[in-house]
Structure 1
Amino acid sequence: MKVEELERWTFLIILTFVSCLFLFLLQPFFESILWACIIAILFHPMQMWLERKVGEHPNFTALITLTACVFLVVIPVLLLLTSFLQQGIALYQRIDTGEIQPAQYIDRIRQAFPVAQEFLERIGVDISSLRENATKAALATGSFLTQNAVAVGVGTFNFLLKLALMLYIAFFLLRDGRQLIEKLVYVIPLGDERERLLFQNIAGVARATVKGNLVVAMVQGALGGFIFWVLDIPAPLLWGVVMAVLSLIPAVGAGLIWLPAAVYLYADGQWAEASILVAYGILVIGLADNVLRPILVGRDTKLPDWMVLLSTLGGIGLFGINGFVVGPLIAVLFVAFWQIFGKDLNAGVADTGVNNDHDQPKTESDTTKNQTANENPTKQ
Structure 2
Amino acid sequence: MATEQTAQRVFTGLIILSIILLALVVRPFAKAFFLAAVLAGTFYGLYSRLSRKLRGHNNVAAGVIVSGVILALLLPLGGLTAFVVTEVSDGVKFVSDTVQREGMEGLIDKIPGPVRGPVERLLERIPLEEAQLDETLQQQVSTQGGTAARAVTGAVAATGSIAFQTVMMLIALFFLLTEGARLVKWVESVSPLRRGQTGEILREFRSVSVAVLVSSVATAGVQAAAALVGFLIARVPAALFFAGVAFFMALIPAVGAAIVVLAAAALMFFSGHPWAALFLAIWGTVVVGLVDNIVKPLLARRGMHQHAAIVFFALLGGLAAFGTVGLLLGPLIVAFFLALLRIYERDYGRPTPRPGDPATPGETGGGESLIIRPSVLSAETRERVPLSPTTPERH
TM superposition score normalised by structure 2 = 0.64
1:171 aligned counterpart, secondary structure: helix
**8 Å CA contact retained: 2:262, 2:284:** no
Q: Could you tell me which residue of structure 2 aligns to residue 214 of structure 1?
A: 217
Among 161, 182, 198, the alignment partner of 2:164 is 161
Q: Could you tell me which residue of structure 1 aligns to residue 205 of structure 2?
A: 202
Q: Does residue 32 of structure 1 match 2:23? A: no
Q: Could you tell me which residue of structure 2 aligns to residue 322 of structure 1?
A: 325
2:236 aligned counterpart, secondary structure: coil
**Structure-to-structure mapping, 1:306-345, within 5 angstroms:** 306-345=309-348
**8 Å CA contact retained: 2:317, 2:330:** yes
Q: Does residue 190 of structure 1 match 2:193? A: yes
- What is the CA–CA distance in structure 2 between the aligned matches of 1:87 and 1:235, rounded to whole Å? 17
**Structure-to-structure mapping, 1:18-167, within 5 angstroms:** 18-71=18-71, 73-79=72-78, 82=81, 148-167=151-170
- What is the CA–CA distance in structure 2 between the aligned matches of 1:300 and 1:253, rounded to whole Å? 23
Question: CA-to-partner distance for each residue in 1:291-319, whole Å, 9 max, x for gaps?
Answer: 74345311111222222222222222222
Q: Could you tell me which residue of structure 2 aligns to residue 7 of structure 1?
A: 7
- What is the CA–CA distance in structure 2 between the aligned matches of 1:273 and 1:148, rounded to whole Å? 31
* Cα deviation, residue 270, structure 1: 3.8
- What is the CA–CA distance in structure 2 between the aligned matches of 1:162 and 1:81, rounded to whole Å? 21
**8 Å CA contact retained: 2:318, 2:331:** yes
- What is the CA–CA distance in structure 1 between the aligned matches of 2:243 and 2:86, rounded to whole Å? 9
* Cα deviation, residue 225, structure 1: 5.3
**Structure-to-structure mapping, 1:299-378, within 5 angstroms:** 299-347=302-350, 355=360
- What is the CA–CA distance in structure 2 between the aligned matches of 1:64 and 1:328, rounded to whole Å? 29
**8 Å CA contact retained: 1:201, 1:333:** yes
* Cα deviation, residue 82, structure 1: 3.2
**8 Å CA contact retained: 2:297, 2:311:** no
- What is the CA–CA distance in structure 2 between the aligned matches of 1:222 and 1:80, rounded to whole Å? 19
Number of residue equivalences: 326
Q: Could you tell me which residue of structure 1 aligns to residue 100 of structure 2?
A: none
Structure-2 change in CA distance of 1:68 and 1:240 (3 Å): closer
- What is the CA–CA distance in structure 1 between the aligned matches of 2:88 and 2:148, rounded to whole Å? 9
Structure-2 change in CA distance of 1:286 and 1:225 (3 Å): same
**8 Å CA contact retained: 1:258, 1:277:** yes
**8 Å CA contact retained: 1:204, 1:300:** yes
Structure-2 change in CA distance of 1:84 and 1:177 (3 Å): farther
Among 232, 238, 243, the alignment partner of 2:236 is 232
Amino acid aligned to 2:220: A
Structure-2 change in CA distance of 1:218 and 1:87 (3 Å): farther
- What is the CA–CA distance in structure 2 between the aligned matches of 1:168 and 1:238, rounded to whole Å? 32
Question: CA-to-partner distance for each residue in 1:155-186, whole Å, 9 max, x for gaps?
Answer: 32222222221111111111000100111111
* Cα deviation, residue 34, structure 1: 1.4
- What is the CA–CA distance in structure 1 between the aligned matches of 2:166 and 2:54, rounded to whole Å? 29
Structure-2 change in CA distance of 1:243 and 1:165 (3 Å): closer
Q: Could you tell me which residue of structure 1 aligns to residue 377 of structure 2?
A: none
- What is the CA–CA distance in structure 2 between the aligned matches of 1:192 and 1:81, rounded to whole Å? 50
**8 Å CA contact retained: 1:220, 1:254:** yes
Question: CA-to-partner distance for each residue in 1:130-172, whole Å, 9 max, x for gaps?
Answer: xxxxxxxxxxx9x966763333223322222222211111111
- What is the CA–CA distance in structure 2 between the aligned matches of 1:81 and 1:17, rounded to whole Å? 47
**8 Å CA contact retained: 1:216, 1:292:** yes
Structure-2 change in CA distance of 1:242 and 1:60 (3 Å): closer
Amino acid aligned to 1:209: V
**8 Å CA contact retained: 1:315, 1:327:** yes
Amino acid aligned to 2:32: S
* Cα deviation, residue 240, structure 1: 6.2
Unaligned ranges ≥5, structure 2: 93-106, 119-143, 365-394
- What is the CA–CA distance in structure 2 between the aligned matches of 1:9 and 1:225, rounded to whole Å? 63
- Judging by fraction of residues, say which structure has more helix: 1
Of all paired residues, the percent bearing the same amino acid is 23
**8 Å CA contact retained: 2:266, 2:277:** no
Amino acid aligned to 2:24: F
